[in-house]
Amino acid sequence: MIRCPDCEYEWAEILATIMTAVGADGIDYADIDDRNVEPHWNDQSFCRCPECGYEGVVADFISRDSPWYGH
Ligand SMILES: [Zn+2]
């Protein structure tokens, strides 16, 4: 479960990274599609509440008994 520690809103925005292909011409934007966009983040990734604007890290937003904690 993810929840804002301030207003308890149950959505959050996580700053995640993706792998992408880069060649001589720069980033291949055509390579970025549903098949390979797998955002990577961890419990220290920046996290923000879209409702109240609270900013912190993912660990601030998730409860440790969540089944997907640590993923
Ligand atoms: Zn909030």
Distance 2 CA to ligand 1 centre (A): 11
Q: How many CB atoms lie within 10 A of CB 12?
A: 19
Q: How far is the CA of 61 from the centre of ligand 1 (A)?
A: 9
Q: What is the CA radius of gyration of the chain?
A: 15
Task: Give residue 30 CA to ligand 1 midpoint distance, Å.
Answer: 35
- How many domains does the chain divide into? 1
Distance from the CA of 7 to the center of ligand 1, in angstroms? 4
1 touches 11 (CB < 8 A): no
Task: Give me the pLDDT at residue 15, please.
Answer: 95
User: Beta-carbon neighbour count of residue 15 at 10 Å?
Assistant: 12
pLDDT at site 69: 60
In a domain, 68, yes or no: no
Q: Residue 11 — very low, low, confident or very high, per pLDDT cuts 50/70/90? A: very high
Q: Within a 10 A sphere around the Cβ of 18, how many other Cβ atoms?
A: 10
pTM given for the model: 0.71
8 within some domain = no
Identify the band that residue 68 occupies on the pLDDT scale cut at 50, 70 and 90: low
Q: What is the pLDDT of residue 12?
A: 95
* 2 domain-assigned: no
Residue 42 belongs to domain spanning: 13-61
Mean pLDDT in the chain? 85
